[in-house]
Amino acid sequence: MFNRICLASGLWILTAAASLASPVTVVAKGADGRVLSGAVVSITVAGAPRPQPRGTYTMSQQNIAFAPHVLIVPVGATVSFPNRDRVRHHAYSFSPAKRFELKLYGRDETKSVTFDRPGVAAIGCNIHDAMSAFVFVTTTPFVAITDGSGRVVIDGVPPGQVSLALWHPSIRAPNNSVSRPAIVAAGGLATEIAPAR
Amino acid sequence: MTFSKFRPTQLRTRMAALYAGLFILGFVVVAIVAQVMIEGQARRSVTAEMVTSGTVYDRIWALREQSLTGTSDVLARDFGFRSAVASGDQLTILSALETLKARAKVPVAAVVGLDGSVTGATGPLAQAMAQLPFQLADGRRDAVIGLGGDTYRLVSSPVLAPTEIGWVVFAVRLDAGEMRSLEKLSAIPMVATILQRSPAGHWQSADGVVPPTSDIDTLVSSSRVSRVISTIDVGGKEFYALARPLAGPQGEAQAVMLLRYSTSLALAPFRPIQFGILLAGLIVLALVILGSLRLAGAIARPITALQRAAQALEEGNRTEVDVIGTDEIGQLADSFNRMSAGIVERESRITHLAFHDQLTDLPNRAFFRQSLDEKLSRLTRTGEQLAVLYLDLDGFKSVNDTLGHPVGDALLRSVAKVLLGLTPDGLVARLGGDEFAIILSSGFEKDRPRALAQSIIDALVEPMLVDGLCIPTGASLGIAIGPDDGANSVQLLKNADLALYRAKQDGRGVFHFFEASLDQAARERRQIELDLRSALKTGQFELNYQPIFDLNAHRIGCFEALIRWNHPVRGPISPVDFIPVAEDTGLIVAIGEWVLHEACRQAATWPGHVRVAINVSALQFRHPGFAATVMQVLARSGLQPNRLEIEITESVFLDGDGPVMALLQKLRSLGVRIALDDFGTGYSSLSYLRSFAFDKIKIDKSFVDTIVGDASASAIVSAIVVLATALKMETTAEGVEDALQLAELRDKGCSSIQGYYYSRPVNGAAAFEMISDPNFAAAAA
């Protein structure tokens, strides 16, 4: 929730910058045709300003799980990994976007990692295999996570040629991501995106 | 004989074979049922074992997967390894894989990246390994692939960081060694073989041990649905088999694991049972055969004895069978013995009856003839003699006629006793009727036949007391001596009979030895007999008439008809010669009839005072039809009955006078005259004269011959004449030959004479002339 607010406030800034742009609505679907919730839809617009990190980003470990599961941060953002469990955790990432290892830290210890490259960092716990999370490091401000019905609504996208991308761990493609070009009209865009079958 | 010996053995064998056959049949049925049940049981048992083993294999298979995946998981989860994979650190990955291969004893291990890159393997296998993670359905970790002639089991483990960044893939070659190690884990000695589908679509092992067959194809295809156990043929041996399709990467099986179990091995535990059944069957069979032979022997042995005894009986020998036990065979033997005894007894009775006379129990004619032949044949060797005495009772027929057959039979029995008593040294037989015969065989004294004959005659001359009746008997005997009088029984007996005949002719109550002349006489008699028969038919007989001169009327009062036989060859034959033959043969009846007819026909032509006298023999007289013949003759000739004079002799009374008297009275009633001929000779009895009033008495020629010189003869003639006169009977003297005799007779009061002095017998024509010739009358005077 906290993350959402942070992200929302960032988006609000963007929206204010490109005022009066139409909303883009995207429904994400998996390879099997079913709606994909928890996926990240991003729209890259050429010439758009990069988002800047603001405030702190947190990926906490609580109840033997990372929270949130997917965290979107702008490039250069520093994310703290507070351990709120009574057990120790060993968070790591081998992803090219950010390699790091937070070795065996205990309760209420907080370690921070700065994500300085765009991409997705798959984060696991070397002690608890079941724990996983993703830090989506983005260079575009037009990015959002699909809701339960696989839908996102992104405001403020300037009309014109854009690149529409979908990321989800289940997508079997390089970087678990598919993208395609799209044109955003003055009145906005309503479209679907899905990996090739 | 060999056949009869073989038969009981055959019976034994047949019984033994029957029982053994039945047992074998039963045993075969039981054995087949047992075999089927054992087979079924074995099959169920093996099937159950194989199902169990199949399940065990499944478990082993799964355990192996767990083991492999566990091993690969260990690697895939290793932080350093994941780090190496994530960072694409090839050297580290390869070294880690080497360590893993050595630790887990896995020949091939590789890491497959998300992009399909393979680290740690090369060649076709690497390609197959690279495809595996992308082909496997979710949740599946392993698959079996066929690659050329080899089969590999591939196991994959994902490398998570924490998302999949690649896969650790192991390849285990399913070779013979792998199969052996699998087999070792099974409870039963099954053989595991990997089958691959050939290009032609048939399942077969790569090494050729299991060639492709339709049975296996069927088994594999049906095993996809459910576990099936079937029987297949591999290398000429039979196996129970089940197939286990090994899932390929995409589900479709590229290889099949065939588990087979040799049926002979499977059934081996049941062999002892089968062998035991067979062995027990053979032992019981031997016992059955032995028992059957023993039982059959116990039955057959007495039957053999009975069969031999029956054969002996059939050949006429008296046999007995030892009776053993009281069962049916014992009873049969008992019955057989009784039957045998009965047959022998009846046979001897029949033999006795055949050779003995029932009335007197003396040997009969057949036995006599047989004995005589035997004794005669013995004589030809020893040179000795034997005697046959042929005996005939005198007057036996009248005993039967007057006193009845029971008395006659009793008399014969008494005579038999007498003969047996007198002849301890000979064979006494009854030849039939009142004829007996005796054989005196070798070693008798020369005088013995004569002495025996005489003693018999002496013994039988006495009247015999039979059934309280005193019966006068008497016997005549003929004796023949063999072999002089006959070399065989027929000849000897015939000659003895001839001698007997001669004895009878000699006047009964005597015996006579056979002489050759008797035989000659007998031949002549036989010839006469034959000639007599034709003589009557061809009219060789004629009648002569001798006048009887009536001394009171001084004329011919009567002619006596006398038969003459003019034999065409031998000339005239005397009645003395042929009448006895005619009497013996019964021809006398026919001849006498002819005489009656002829004489009466002739007499009817004579003057009324001339009668005709006709001699009637005793045999003719007693003939039942005699009275009727007389009536017929009288009717046909028309002769006055009182002109016919029947002359009879006293012999007609010999066989009883009752019927004779009745006949005489009957003739008398017809008016026929009766004369008593030859009076004074034989058994002349005055009682005849008293019982019947004869019309005439004829004085025998023997008295007339000596009437002149012999005082006693003269006295007898006188007495006869006086007696006849007193009884109002006429007298005729026969055989008057000269005047002196005539004078004497006339002087004594004789009423008529007959003889040469007056006339010889003359023929019919002469007789007719004589009646009317006065000279004859003068001559008599």
- The confidence score (pLDDT) of residue B5 equals 44
A132 touching B, CB under 8 A?
yes
- Classify the phi-psi angles of B245: left when phi > 0, otherwise alpha if psi is within -120 to 50, otherwise beta: beta
Residue among B574, B613, B579 nearest B596 (CA): B613
Mean pLDDT of chain A: 83
CA distance B425 to B370: 18
Residues B393 and B538 occupy one common structural domain: no
Contact state of B79 with A126 under an 8 Å Cβ cutoff: yes
Contact state of B160 with A129 under an 8 Å Cβ cutoff: yes
- Say if CB B637 and CB B600 are below 8 A apart: yes
Residues B164 and B61 occupy one common structural domain: yes
Structure tokens at B306: 């009975």
B82 touching A, CB under 8 A?
yes
Contact state of A94 with B82 under an 8 Å Cβ cutoff: yes
A38 touching B, CB under 8 A?
no
The residue among B472, B491, B514 that closes a domain is B514
* Residue in chain B nearest A92 by alpha carbon: B161
Residues B331 and B411 occupy one common structural domain: no
A80 has a pLDDT exceeding 50: yes
Residue among B665, B652, B657 nearest B694 (CA): B665
| Over residues B567-576, mean pLDDT | 88
Residue B313, in any domain of the structure? no
Structure tokens at B138: 């979710």
A51 touching B, CB under 8 A?
no
Q: From residue A32, give the alpha-carbon distance in Å to each of B84, B137, B163, B551.
A: 32, 14, 19, 195
**Chain A positions in Cβ-Cβ contact with residue B161 (cut-off 8 Å):** 94, 122, 124
CB within 8 Å of B444: residues ≥ 6 apart: B387, B425, B426
* Residue in chain B nearest A125 by alpha carbon: B162
The residue among B253, B269, B285 that closes a domain is B269
Tell the residue number behind the tokens 């000897």, with chain if given. Answer: B492
> Residue B778 — pLDDT band, cuts 50, 70, 90?
low
Structure tokens at B766: 């002469």
Q: Nearest 5 degrees, angle CA B140-CA B143-CA B147?
A: 155
Interval B660-680: pLDDT, tens: 888 899 999 999 999 998 887
Give burial (CB, 10 Å; 0-12/13-18/19+) of B565: buried
Contact state of B161 with A122 under an 8 Å Cβ cutoff: yes
Contact state of B163 with A122 under an 8 Å Cβ cutoff: yes
CA distance A125 to A104: 9
CA distance B634 to B49: 140
Interval B455-479: pLDDT, tens: 999 888 888 888 888 888 889 999 9
Interval B19-32: pLDDT, tens: 888 888 988 888 88
| C-alpha distance from B85 to closest chain A C-alpha (Å) | 9
**Chain B positions in Cβ-Cβ contact with residue A95 (cut-off 8 Å):** 86
> Between A92, A94, A176, which is nearest B87 by CB?
A94
Beta strand B386-393 pairing with B511-513: unpaired
Residues B399 and B543 occupy one common structural domain: no
- Classify the phi-psi angles of A46: left when phi > 0, otherwise alpha if psi is within -120 to 50, otherwise beta: beta
B83 touching A, CB under 8 A?
yes
Least confident of B25-39, B121-135, B240-254, B315-329: B315-329
Interval B573-596: pLDDT, tens: 888 888 888 888 888 999 999 999
* Residue in chain B nearest A127 by alpha carbon: B79
Q: From residue B675, give the alpha-carbon distance in Å to each of A97, B85, B646.
A: 201, 189, 6
CA distance B146 to B168: 20
B510 has a pLDDT exceeding 90: no
| C-alpha distance from A151 to closest chain B C-alpha (Å) | 24
B86 touching A, CB under 8 A?
yes
End-to-end Cα, chain A, rounded Å? 34
> Between B77, B115, B161, which is nearest A94 by CB?
B161
**Chain B positions in Cβ-Cβ contact with residue A94 (cut-off 8 Å):** 82-83, 86-87, 161, 165
Residues B595 and B489 occupy one common structural domain: no
CA distance A125 to A142: 30
* Residue in chain A nearest B113 by alpha carbon: A174
> Residue A4 — pLDDT band, cuts 50, 70, 90?
very low
**Domain membership of residue B344 as a residue range:** 322-355
Residues B454 and B349 occupy one common structural domain: no
Residues B670 and B755 occupy one common structural domain: yes
Same fold, A20-49+141-197 and A52-139: yes
Interface test with A, best of B163, B164, B165 (most A CBs within 10 A): B163
Contact state of B163 with A123 under an 8 Å Cβ cutoff: no
Residue B624, in any domain of the structure? yes
Interface test with B, best of A70, A92, A93, A94 (most B CBs within 10 A): A94
- CATH superfamily, region A20-49+141-197: Immunoglobulins (2.60.40.10)
Contact state of A124 with B79 under an 8 Å Cβ cutoff: no
Cis peptide before A195 (omega within 30 of 0): no
DSSP code of B573?
E
Domain extents in chain A: 20-49+141-197, 52-139
- The confidence score (pLDDT) of residue B657 equals 67
Least confident of A52-56, B6-10, B42-46, B79-83: B6-10
What are φ and ψ of residue A163, in 5° steps?
A: -110, 125
DSSP code of A83?
B
| Over residues A118-126, mean pLDDT | 90
Q: From residue A98, give the alpha-carbon distance in Å to each of A94, A116, B540.
A: 7, 8, 190
Contact state of A123 with B160 under an 8 Å Cβ cutoff: no
Residues B554 and B500 occupy one common structural domain: no
| C-alpha distance from B247 to closest chain A C-alpha (Å) | 25
Give the containing element (helix H, strand E) for A196: none
* Residue in chain A nearest B160 by alpha carbon: A129
Q: Who has greater pLDDT, A21 or A153?
A: A153
B443 has a pLDDT exceeding 70: yes
Residues B109 and B164 occupy one common structural domain: yes
B683 touching A, CB under 8 A?
no
CB within 8 Å of B521: residues ≥ 6 apart: B498, B502
* Residue in chain A nearest B82 by alpha carbon: A94
CA distance A115 to A117: 6
SS3 A50: coil
**Chain B positions in Cβ-Cβ contact with residue A122 (cut-off 8 Å):** 161-163
Dihedral of the alpha carbons of B405, B407, B413, B418, in degrees to the nearest 10: -130
Q: Highest mean pLDDT range out of A4-18, B139-153, B553-567, B764-778?
A: B553-567
Residue B519, in any domain of the structure? no
Residues B343 and B406 occupy one common structural domain: no
Contact state of B83 with A94 under an 8 Å Cβ cutoff: yes
B39 has a pLDDT exceeding 80: no
Residue B760, in any domain of the structure? yes
Contact state of A174 with B82 under an 8 Å Cβ cutoff: no
Number of domains into which chain B is organized: 4
- The confidence score (pLDDT) of residue A12 equals 43
- The confidence score (pLDDT) of residue B656 equals 66
**Chain B positions in Cβ-Cβ contact with residue A92 (cut-off 8 Å):** 79
B542 has a pLDDT exceeding 70: yes
DSSP code of A75?
T
Could you give the ipTM of this predicted complex? Answer: 0.75
Interface test with A, best of B73, B74, B77, B79 (most A CBs within 10 A): B79
B684 has a pLDDT exceeding 70: no
What are φ and ψ of residue B114, in 5° steps?
A: -65, -25
A176 touching B, CB under 8 A?
yes
Contact state of A169 with B86 under an 8 Å Cβ cutoff: no
- The confidence score (pLDDT) of residue B508 equals 76
**Chain A positions in Cβ-Cβ contact with residue B115 (cut-off 8 Å):** 174
The residue among B305, B331, B355 that closes a domain is B355
B77 touching A, CB under 8 A?
yes
| Over residues B78-88, mean pLDDT | 85
| C-alpha distance from A177 to closest chain B C-alpha (Å) | 13
CA distance B88 to B79: 14
Give burial (CB, 10 Å; 0-12/13-18/19+) of A53: middle
* Residue in chain B nearest A170 by alpha carbon: B163
> Between B87, B114, B162, which is nearest A124 by CB?
B162
A123 touching B, CB under 8 A?
yes
A15 has a pLDDT exceeding 60: no
Residues B492 and B541 occupy one common structural domain: no
Distance of CA B510 to the CA centre of its chain: 54
Residue B404, in any domain of the structure? yes
B67 has a pLDDT exceeding 80: yes
**Chain A positions in Cβ-Cβ contact with residue B77 (cut-off 8 Å):** 129
> Residue A10 — pLDDT band, cuts 50, 70, 90?
very low
- The confidence score (pLDDT) of residue A6 equals 41
Q: How many helices (H) and strands (E) does chain A have?
A: 1, 17
A191 touching B, CB under 8 A?
no
> Residue B725 — pLDDT band, cuts 50, 70, 90?
very high
> Between A99, A132, A174, which is nearest B162 by CB?
A132
A·B CB contacts under 8 A: 29
**Chain A positions in Cβ-Cβ contact with residue B165 (cut-off 8 Å):** 94
> Between B79, B82, B162, which is nearest A131 by CB?
B162
CA distance A79 to A7: 13
CA distance B355 to B388: 18
CA distance B412 to B400: 11
Residues B336 and B389 occupy one common structural domain: no
- CATH superfamily, region A52-139: Cupredoxins -  blue copper proteins (2.60.40.420)
- Say if CB B375 and CB B444 are below 8 A apart: no
* Torsion sign across C-alpha atoms B668, B669, B672, B673: positive
Contact state of B163 with A169 under an 8 Å Cβ cutoff: yes
| C-alpha distance from A119 to closest chain B C-alpha (Å) | 15
Contact state of B79 with A131 under an 8 Å Cβ cutoff: no
Q: What is the CATH number of the domain that holds B426?
A: 3.30.70.270
